[in-house]
Every structure is written in structure tokens, then in C-alpha cells.
Structure 1
Amino acid sequence: MTQPIKLIIDTDPGIDDAMAIFYAAAAPDIELVGLTSIFGNVTTEQATRNALRLLEWADLPDVRVAEGASKPRALPAFPPSHNVHGDEGFGTLLAETPKGQACDESAAAFLARMAREYKGELVVCPIGPLTNIADALDLDPDFASNVARIVLMGGSLDEGGNITPHAEANIYHDPHAAERVFASGANITMVGLDVTHRILCTAEDFDAIEAASPRLGGIINEMSRFYLHFYTTVGKHDGCSLHDPAAVIACTHPDLFTAQSVSVIVPCDGDTAGATQRAHDGRAAVNVLMSVRSEDVKRQFIDEMSKLS
């Protein structure tokens, strides 16, 4: 087996964030070296608490958490997505006060330092708005070249949006940060709605995960019921999309996806604010995932989640 990748997940937990973090905890090809918190599904303060709590549940006390930005770069703060993830981020499950605390560094400083320490090795996987990543680029001009890859969950090239007709939520919630990241020249893979809308898990799938892994699988199954119910309220009865887990899986299993090399620009105002569009200004291209072996990704997710203690 090859060496596990060194991974930092930038996260706003969030039910599918919890799935992604537990997946990373279970996967033998991932060394989780940190979590950074960001607003989005919940407030940044809640995201920090939830990240710490998830690590305690997963028995990963040595994984550090760094608290990130509390609002977008230029826009007013958005309300959290309580209708999707519940008031505390975990559906109806209470997010108890964690025993641990976030480290003293800001998320941007932690990201920049880890990218220097693990130059050419560190993979950063943002699964919320990209504010912390943009702040790290501003803080350290070498951040874009120090990281091996940025594999982000966000955007939509051809699929259309999920918060406006054009925009996916993570990009929409800080388009100025997203534009900074896409223009940075970093090695970026965009895991957007073009693929995540095609990877669905059902209630029966989560029941199977709990049967194989009663403790942590049971936690995920309880959270999933709220998430699945939200999907039914918008007319989707065939399961919930594995948005954030798909991004983490793409970090280690790129063979399960097909990418296009596309230069991406993000409009920051008007009707198309937060869209991820094809750019024609000479900027570096990024890898945009456009098709997926959906059943194989789903099987990978279920198999690893079933190994949780």
C-alpha cells in the first residue's frame, strides 16, 4: 500500500461534513492532520465545536482544529442552513460541548504553516465556503505552490445551481474568496454538482452502515434521517447526495471520476454571483470533475464507513 495522503479538511459541519470526516477517519489511505472551521451550514463557532466533537467521537484526539473566518470576505454574513442540517448542524442530534479546544492559530495561519511543513505533500479539502483558503493565499504567497492539491467541494460547471439557478451554495456564500482561489494557480480539483448530484445514499444504505458499525454508524444514521427528510421536502425521494464525502473520496480515488481541464472564473455580483463559469482570461486551468462511477463511489463510502468502531 502507498503512503496515506496528508489531509486537512476545511469544514462547516454539517451532516454531510460529518460523513466526510468519519470517512477520512476510517480510510487507511488518509492521514487526517487537521480540521479548519468555516461558516456555512452552521456558524463558525458552531463549526469549531462540531469539528472537535466529531474528532472525539472518532477517537482522534491528536488531530488539531483551527478556527476560521466568521463571515465572507466582502458580503454580509449569511444565515446558517438550519433547514438542511438542523439548528446545531447534526440534525436532531445534540452537539454536546467537546472536551478539547481549538488551537491558538487561525485557520489561515494553520493552513499556511502545514503547507510549508508538508510542502508538496499536503492535500487541502475545503467542503464549505472558500474564505479560509483565500485567506491562506493572502497570508502566504507560497501557499498555492506549497500545497500538493486543493480538492474542493463546490461549484457547478454545467449542472446549474442548488441555491440559485446558477450557483452552488459553497461558492455562493463567498464568491470573492472562490474567485481568489480559482485565480491562484494552485493545483485545484473541483468536485461540484456535476458529479455529486449523481451519488445518492438511501435510508437503507445508512441502516446498513449502522448495522456494520453500531456506534459511529449509528450516529451518522441518526443524522441522516434529518438530511434525507430535507431532500424529500424539495421533491427528491431517492436519497441524499454525498456532496462532501465525494470530495474526500476524490482525494484518494481520482480514478472513479473523469475530469475536464477548464479555466474557471466566479462572478461576484448580479444574477450569476457565485456561478463557476468557463474563463477566457488566460488563467491556469483546474480539474473539473464532470462524470463519476456513482455506484463505485457509493460502495467505497459504505465499505469504509462500515469499518468504523
Structure 2
Amino acid sequence: MPMKRRVIIDTDPGLDDALAILFALGSARFDVLGVTTVAGNIGIERTTRNAGGLLAVMGRSDIPVIRGSDIPLTRELQDIVAIIHGSDGLRGITLPEPLNLPLEDASGWIAKTLAAAEPGSVDILALGPLTNIARVITEHPEALKGIGQIIAMGGTLNEPGNSGPRSEFNFASDPEAVSVVIGCAAHLKVVLVPLDVTRKVRAQLDFVNGLPETAHGNLAREVLQAYMLDGRQSRALHDPCVMLMALEPGLFRLETIRLDVDLGIEPDAGSLLVDERGTPVAVAMGVDTEGALALLRSGFV
């Protein structure tokens, strides 16, 4: 067996976040050091509770949940995705009570964990707005040596946006945080997984129905069925792509693109801008869809 990847999952669960977390906990290829939460798909109290409930499903009382930022760095919190994720973030799916009370101060906890780690040994898997990660970068620069890579789901280059015409929800939620994270790509490995790729990795009904009859496989099926309640025959698996990238980057075609971020006003705040004066960033622009789905399925056995 290859060495487990030591990771911190930063998340705002959310249906596709839930699927990504269940995969990571069930795949046996991750050493999850902690789950930090951020307001995004829903407010911070609910995202934190959902994260704790997902860990409870897997019996993982050893993994702490740490409550993070409840608002973006400088803007007001958006509240536009309840139509997709429901007012509880999971469209009414009932999770068990968290096994432990959450800790506080996600960015401080991340910094402390990174500072104690071997250089380059911890990956940050970012599934939501990048507020917590930006706070680590700006407030605790001495801890960044512990980061192996930051893999973030967000943005779009050639695909239409899902927040504004050119903006994706995670990045639109806190454009200033995106700017901080992309800016650090000059000296840290930052990998972006945008809508250009995640919309190609889709759960069809046969994938949903074929998930194994395990505890987390059954919950993953319930999550995907809830994701399709509006009559869709498939759903893009946005956040699980981050986990797949961490395990098998060869499934993706990476390009180095010089990027900046639109820090203007809505509707396109947070949009990625290709700019020769921007920071070179690794961006996933292609994917082996069948290989990605096979790897995802393997995490629910």
C-alpha cells in the first residue's frame, strides 16, 4: 500500500462536499488530520454540524472538526445555494449527532498543525470558499512550510459560471481570499480544479445505483439521490474531484496558466482572469472521466 496522504479538509458541507468527505474517510488512502469548516453552501453552524455528523457516520471520533470563518474576508456572505443544497445543506438527510464538540479557530488550528508537521507533508484539500486558507497565509506565514500542496475546487475558465456569467460559487463567495491563495502559488504548490473539469465528472443514475452496500456507500447513494431530486439524470461531482486529484493526479491534464482574480462587484467578482502578468498556477483542464468515476467508486467498498 502507498503511504497515506496526510490532509486537512477545509469544507462547507453541502451535498457534494459530503460525498467527497465520505470518499476520503472510506478510501483508506488518506490520513485526515482534521476537518475545518467555513460558511459557504450554508452558514457556519450548519456546515460545522454537518461535518461532525459525517465523521460520526464513519465512527471517526479521532478526527477533530474545527469551526472556521463565518463571513468572507471583506464582503457579505452570499446566500444563494439553498435551492441546490437545501436549508440544512443536505436536503433533509438526517445525520447522527457529532461525536465531539467542535474546536474553534480553524485558521489557527491549521497553522499550528502545519508548524508541527514535517516540511511539505500536509496537503490542504479546499472544498469551499478559501477564507480559512487565506487567513493562514496572511496571518501565519511561518507555518506554510508544512504545506505539500493546496488543491482547491473553484473557478472556471471556459465554462459558464454557476454564480455569475463567468464566476463560480466558491470563488465568488470570497474573491479576496482567492487572490491571496493564487498569489502564494509563486512559492507554494497550488492546484485549481475548476468547473471546466468537474462538469465532466458526472454521476449518472447507474453510478448512483451501483454504489456498494456499505454504511458510507448507502449514505453516498442517499446524498446523490437528494442531489438529483429536481429530476436531473446526472449531477456534476465538483468537490470529489479534489480528492481524486490528490490521489491520482495522472487522471487529470494540468496546465500552468497565469491567473489573476476579478475583485470587482457582482455578478463576476471572483472570476479567474488569464493575464500574462498574473501568477502561474496549475489548473486542471482535462480529465479521464471513466478513470475518475472508477476511483471514486472504489472509495465506497
Q: Normalized against structure 2, the TM-score is what?
A: 0.94
Distance 1:160 1:134 in 2: 25
1:113 maps to 2:103: no
CA RMSD of aligned residues (A): 1.5
State the shift of 1:144 in Å.
3.8
Map 1:1-309 to 2 at 5 A.
1-79=1-79, 81-104=81-104, 106-118=105-117, 119-185=119-185, 186-209=188-211, 212-230=212-230, 232=231, 237-270=232-265, 271-281=267-277, 283=279, 285-305=280-300, 307=301
Unmatched 5+ stretches in structure 1: none
Gaps of 5+ in 2: none
Tell me the distance in 1 between the aligned counterparts of 2:240 and 2:278: 32
Matched AA of 1:187: K
Number of matched pairs: 297
Amino acid of the residue matched to residue 297 of structure 1? A
Query: What secondary structure, in the 3-state scheme, does the structure 2 residue paired with 1:99 have?
Result: coil
Q: Shift of the alpha carbon at 1:99?
A: 3.3
What is the identity, as a one-letter code, of the residue corresponding to 1:169? F
Q: CA deviation at 1:2?
A: 2.3
Contact 1:203 1:228 (C-alpha < 8 Å) held by counterparts:
no
Displacement of 1:214 in angstroms is: 4.0
Instruction: Give the deviation of 1:75 after TM superposition.
Output: 1.0
Q: Secondary structure at the match of 1:152?
A: strand
Is the alpha carbon distance of 1:282 and 1:175 closer, same or farther for their aligned partners in structure 2, counting shifts above 3 Å?
A: closer
Once the two structures are TM-superposed, the CA of residue 78 in structure 1 deviates from its matched residue by 1.3
Q: After alignment, is 83-92 or 161-170 more displaced?
A: 83-92
Following the alignment from structure 1 to structure 2, what is the Cα–Cα distance between the partners of residues 99 and 76? 31
Q: Report how far residue 267 of structure 1 moved.
A: 0.9
Q: What TM-score, normalized to structure 1?
A: 0.92
- Residue 146 of structure 1 deviates from its aligned partner by 2.9
1: CA distance between counterparts of 2:15 and 2:139?
30
Q: Compute the displacement of 1:96 (Å).
A: 4.7
Q: Supply the distance in 1 between the matched residues of 2:67 and 2:85 (Cα, whole angstroms).
A: 20
Secondary structure of 1:112's aligned partner: helix
How far does residue 205 in structure 1 lie from its aligned partner after superposition?
1.4
The answer on whether the counterparts of 1:124 and 1:150 sit within 8 Å (CA) in structure 2 is yes
Contact kept? 1:144, 1:187, Cα under 8 Å:
no
Q: Distance in 1 between matches of 2:262 and 2:164?
A: 13
Deviation at 1:303, TM superposition (A): 1.9
Equivalent-residue separation in structure 2 for 1:144 and 1:286 (angstroms): 17
- Residue 226 of structure 1 and its aligned partner are, at CA, apart by 2.2
